[in-house]
Amino acid sequence: MPWVFLLLALAAMAVAFQTTSLALAALCLLAALGLLLAFALGLLARRVGSRSRDQALLLDPQELRRLREQAEARRAAAAADTPPGSGERP
């Protein structure tokens, strides 16, 4: 689809250079600028879309819960290993 914008921009430029009306030339140049911008944004959107991660690779709720439980177990084990009062001052 972005290539259509590029072709339309080229057509607008051709009309702008061939016309004798200043108003039509200005309108065609503005249209060409807008179409070139649409072309560039379309290409960028395709590139970003192709590099985005697959939604299926994201963590599901069960996996997230399992990871949280593992982190809590590690924290509890670390707290049990430290002697009481070793980190506090009276």
Domain membership flag for residue 13: yes
Q: How many domains is the chain built from?
A: 1
Residue 30: domain span: 1-50
Given this model, what pLDDT does residue 72 score? 94
42 has a pLDDT exceeding 80: yes
Distance CA 35, CA 8 (A): 7
83 has a pLDDT exceeding 70: no
pTM: 0.57
Given this model, what pLDDT does residue 84 score? 62
Domain membership flag for residue 18: yes
Domain membership flag for residue 3: yes
Domain membership flag for residue 70: no
Domain membership flag for residue 38: yes
Tell me phi and psi for residue 86, to 5 degrees. -75, -25
Distance CA 77, CA 35 (A): 62
Higher pLDDT, 30 or 64: 30
The answer to whether the CB of 2 falls within 8 A of the CB of 38 is yes
